[in-house]
Chains A and B, each alone.
Chain A
Amino acid sequence: MEWGFALAILGGALAVALAGIGSAIGVGISGQASNGVMSENPQIFVPLLLLTALPGTQGVYGFLIGVILMLKLGLLGEAVVKIGFYQGMGILFACLPIALAGLVSGIYQGKVCATGVYMVAKQSKDFVKPLIMAVFVEFYAVLGLLTSLLMLNGIKV
């Protein structure tokens, strides 16, 4: 295997893994809060489900970049493309926005969602407001995704 190809793979792996870690921690935080609240009030399952699921999107964005990269490299088809060293380096860098933004925003979104869970525990009808607050954090993962997408799109292989 060429160096460039390996670097490109490293990029995809980082995108999926780091963003996934962010989401896993985020969902972990909000999920724990939800379970605690549900032990007192099981009827508010649906709002809590939404708040718990929201930090999960970063992992999906990372995965999305991973798959786009796999398609680009031909890993899912028959013919694997050839990639030079600097090209591979570029692909690796292009994956970093979603990897890092996903990692950090996933964790912090989890925290915002957890406090949202506590809010819903007291005012179960107002669950959209904490969701909106959480989306402020998510926007930076969305920007990361967009940047990674556009960069990958720009690198011709």
Chain B
Amino acid sequence: MGIEKVEKVYLVGFQEVQEKLLERLQQEEIIHLDYPSREDISYTEPSINKEIEKAINVLSLYEEKKFLEEIFTEPYFLKKDQFYAVNAHSLKETVKAILNLASQKESLSSKIKSIEEKISLLSGYIFIECSWQEFNSLKYISLIFIKIKPRQRTYLKDFFKEKKVFVKQIAFCDKEEIWAIVGEKSEIENILKEKIILPLELPLSIWEEYPDKNVPQTIASLKKQIFFLKKQAENIDKEIRKQLSYKDKLMIVYDFFLNEEFKNSIEKSTLKTKRLFFLKGWILSSQREKFAKLIEEFKDKVYFRMAPPLPEEVVPTKLKNKKFINPFSIIVNMYGAPHPHSLDPTPFVAPFFFLFVGLCISDAGYGVLLSFFSLYILKRKKLTEGAKNFFSLLFCLGISTFLVGLILGGFFGINLPFKMIDILKHPFPFLIFCFLLGYFQVLFGIVLKIYLEFKNKNYQKTLLNTSWFTLLISSVGFFIFKFTIFKILSFISILGIIVFASSAKNIFVHTGVGLYELYGITKYFSDVLSYSRLLALGMATGVIAMVINLLAKMSFKANILGAIGALGILIGGHVFNFLINLMSGFIHSARLQFVEFFSKFFELGEEFFQPLRIHTRYTHITEE
């Protein structure tokens, strides 16, 4: 439990072994490098990787995945020796072939798309049964088409009666009629000048391409073209599917090049003389021997020296916890690295977070569901270290939810017979309970602060926080029990706060700072009130679950179809309620830790201890 001891190390060696050394350090994951500056190791993706990435993306389009696999993609695990074993250069041809196929496919698709657009344009003119040649060969007469609404019919008939043209209704189109009008060129021109009618614009440019065909024939031949193009596309699809087996190798090669580039960028960023390089970093004290052994491999080429950190340097933080509470370190990781001179809050966060999430979800059935689901994922799926921790955490939270659910007596919204507390009927005592939990956690935070200040020999702050602690205890004690002793203690505490708030010599400044510090009492009030969310979220889960059951019951009573619907309501409703409450339960509980608890004692450090490791994107490198 706690924060591991980390030591500073300087390395000097000959440049010819630098790459090999970095490779070994990556493999052993032993050193947290202290780069001259973070920006120096920003690096561009190697150009070959852009092609490989494209090829991987093409292949992943062809992978058949179920919906759930889309969301929970299992990481690709790889042993270290496999990582170095792939022949990167042999795959260049494969990448080329895949990209070639993909570009062929793309050009086919765009061809198909443009032909489909042509068809959809032409399909509005299937009534034209003459070819472009015939249409174009008209010298003395004109043919135009107009689209009219039924109510315009009589008016237009009268209109055309007086003209020397031949008019015929030739088709219907969405309740509108298409009329063909034939007449001498000059006559038609005169009619158009009157602007009574507007001729349809014909798709001349497409029609022109097939001069000897009328519109329906043109469409048919275009469709034939699409058919052949689609067949070609299918063949290409088949070819690409044949390459699917290369996807894993491509991912490894991508990561291999990525890692090479990463190593290069570190090499570039290191301080150098003509022949030597210089590195500094941090190692765990517990791994000192292992580190020395590793350097021994580079006999007479690399030397190292341990040294205490400089006063202004902040050592990276490495948390070390028992397996049992390790999942809860996720909460601390989200917040940031604790200062190495402070303490690891994981064991203190664990019980509160465990209880709070349980209170927020507060349904035994959902607890069982959560635990079994996480257990299933843990047992059945290959997971990274972080994911394993996360699902272990969910498993624990499931247990807590189950236990709280038993006490509050809800099982998928059904009231259990042995309900101990009915928060719907008597919410007030439970609200007080939530405030008490908050009060306790806030006090606990102050105790941790007192401990830390004492440990760091900051006695004034120790006394200040002790005064706060006694004030919070005695004032609440007086409020409940009305003992005079609490009243006296409260006044002493207030005095203590004013006295220890500042070290200023000027009495007015000192008192002013003290009074301002005392004003901080409002913060403690709002902190404790914030815990009311536990009750509200807990109630929300129970009531929504109840409503889902009620709706299902009403649907079930209706008829046979309703009975089937009831099942859908039950399953869909409870899954929805479960997920949404899991989410808000988790986030709200995390917030209570971050804002109400951590603010009392947490001291942020620089960063977590992150040993140099093989840098990958698609694959996960594992130990043996």
Q: Do chains A and B stick together as partners?
A: yes
List residues of A whose CB falls within 8 A of some B CB.
Answer: 45-46, 50, 53-54, 56-57, 60-61, 63-64, 67-68, 76, 128-129, 131-132, 134-136, 138-139, 142-143, 145-146, 149-150, 153
A64 CA to B540 CA in the complex, in Å?
7
Determine which of B544, B583, B588 lies in contact with A50 in the assembled complex, contact meaning CB atoms within 8 Å: B583
Interface pair A45/B583, CB less than 8 Å apart: no
The secondary structure that dominates the B interface is: helix
Residues of A within 8 A of B71 (CB): 45-46
Q: Kindly state whether residue B288 has any CB partner on chain A within 8 Å.
A: no
**A146-B587 contact in complex given A57-B580, A64-B543, C-beta closer than 8 Å:** no
A145 CA to B431 CA in the complex, in Å?
13
Contact string against A for B residues 587-615, beta-carbon threshold 8 Å, 1 for contact and 0 otherwise: 11011001000000000000000000000
Interface pair A149/B427, CB less than 8 Å apart: yes
Choose, from B92-100, B276-284, B529-537, the stretch at the interface. B529-537
What are 13 A-B interface contacts by the 8 Å CB criterion?
Answer: A53-B580, A57-B580, A60-B540, A61-B540, A63-B547, A64-B540, A64-B547, A67-B550, A128-B590, A135-B588, A138-B584, A145-B536, A149-B427
Contact string against A for B residues 420-449, beta-carbon threshold 8 Å, 1 for contact and 0 otherwise: 000000011001000000000000000000
**A131-B540 contact in complex given A57-B580, A139-B533, A146-B532, C-beta closer than 8 Å:** no
Residues of A within 8 A of B594 (CB): 132
Output the nearest chain A residue to B333 by Cβ-Cβ distance.
A128
A122 CA to B16 CA in the complex, in Å?
37
**A146-B543 contact in complex given A57-B580, A60-B580, A128-B334, C-beta closer than 8 Å:** no
Interface pair B591/A132, CB less than 8 Å apart: yes
Contact string against A for B residues 544-561, beta-carbon threshold 8 Å, 1 for contact and 0 otherwise: 101100100010000000
Residues of A within 8 A of B498 (CB): none
Output the nearest chain B residue to A131 by Cβ-Cβ distance.
B587
Q: How far is the CB of A79 from chain B (nearest CB, A)?
A: 16
Residues of A within 8 A of B543 (CB): 64, 67-68
Please report which residues of chain B, range 59-99, place their CB below 8 angstroms from some CB of chain A when the two chains form the complex. 70-71
Q: How far is the CB of B411 from chain A (nearest CB, A)?
A: 19
Output the nearest chain A residue to B331 by Cβ-Cβ distance.
A128
Q: How far is the CB of B505 from chain A (nearest CB, A)?
A: 40
Contact string against A for B residues 574-591, beta-carbon threshold 8 Å, 1 for contact and 0 otherwise: 000000100110011011
Residues of B within 8 A of A46 (CB): 71
Determine which of B427, B540, B550 lies in contact with A150 in the assembled complex, contact meaning CB atoms within 8 Å: B427
Q: Kindly state whether residue B539 has any CB partner on chain A within 8 Å.
A: yes
**A56-B580 contact in complex given A45-B71, A143-B532, A146-B532, C-beta closer than 8 Å:** yes
Output the nearest chain A residue to B546 by Cβ-Cβ distance.
A67
Q: How far is the CB of A27 from chain B (nearest CB, A)?
A: 12
Q: How far is the CB of B594 from chain A (nearest CB, A)?
A: 6
Residues of A within 8 A of B544 (CB): 60, 63-64
Interface pair B540/A145, CB less than 8 Å apart: yes
Interface pair B587/A132, CB less than 8 Å apart: yes
Residues of A within 8 A of B427 (CB): 149-150, 153
A145 CA to B539 CA in the complex, in Å?
10
Determine which of A64, A76, A128, A139 lies in contact with B550 in the assembled complex, contact meaning CB atoms within 8 Å: A76
Residues of A within 8 A of B540 (CB): 60-61, 64, 145
Interface pair A135/B591, CB less than 8 Å apart: yes
Interface pair B587/A142, CB less than 8 Å apart: no
A63 CA to B580 CA in the complex, in Å?
14
Interface pair A53/B536, CB less than 8 Å apart: no
A80 CA to B513 CA in the complex, in Å?
61
Please report which residues of chain B, range 328-363, place their CB below 8 angstroms from some CB of chain A when the two chains form the complex. 334
Residues of B within 8 A of A50 (CB): 583
Residues of A within 8 A of B537 (CB): 142
Interface pair B587/A139, CB less than 8 Å apart: no
A139 CA to B527 CA in the complex, in Å?
12
Interface pair B587/A135, CB less than 8 Å apart: yes
In the A-B complex, the 7 residue pairs with the smallest Cβ-Cβ separation, listed nearest first, are: A146-B536, A128-B334, A142-B533, A67-B547, A142-B536, A135-B591, A145-B536
Residues of B within 8 A of A61 (CB): 536, 540
Q: How far is the CB of B492 from chain A (nearest CB, A)?
A: 35
Interface pair B587/A149, CB less than 8 Å apart: no
Residues of A within 8 A of B431 (CB): 146, 150
Residues of B within 8 A of A142 (CB): 532-533, 536-537, 588
Output the nearest chain A residue to B428 by Cβ-Cβ distance.
A150
Output the nearest chain B residue to A98 by Cβ-Cβ distance.
B536
Q: How far is the CB of A46 from chain B (nearest CB, A)?
A: 6
Interface pair B590/A149, CB less than 8 Å apart: no
A32 CA to B588 CA in the complex, in Å?
24
A60 CA to B580 CA in the complex, in Å?
10
Residues of B within 8 A of A54 (CB): 583-584, 587
Output the nearest chain A residue to B576 by Cβ-Cβ distance.
A60
Residues of A within 8 A of B550 (CB): 67, 76
- Told that A67-B550, A150-B431 touch, could you supply 12 new A-B pairs with CB distance under 8 A? A50-B583, A60-B540, A60-B544, A60-B580, A64-B543, A132-B591, A135-B584, A136-B591, A142-B536, A145-B536, A149-B427, A153-B427
Residues of A within 8 A of B590 (CB): 128, 132
Q: How far is the CB of B69 from chain A (nearest CB, A)?
A: 12
Q: How far is the CB of A73 from chain B (nearest CB, A)?
A: 14
Residues of B within 8 A of A139 (CB): 530, 533
Interface pair A53/B583, CB less than 8 Å apart: yes
A25 CA to B577 CA in the complex, in Å?
21
Q: How far is the CB of B363 from chain A (nearest CB, A)?
A: 14
Q: How far is the CB of A155 from chain B (nearest CB, A)?
A: 14
Q: How far is the CB of A134 from chain B (nearest CB, A)?
A: 8
Residues of B within 8 A of A134 (CB): 587
Residues of A within 8 A of B70 (CB): 45
A61 CA to B427 CA in the complex, in Å?
16
Output the nearest chain B residue to A153 by Cβ-Cβ distance.
B427
A67 CA to B539 CA in the complex, in Å?
13
Determine which of B532, B547, B584 lies in contact with A57 in the assembled complex, contact meaning CB atoms within 8 Å: B584
Contact string against A for B residues 97-135, beta-carbon threshold 8 Å, 1 for contact and 0 otherwise: 000000000000000000000000000000000000000
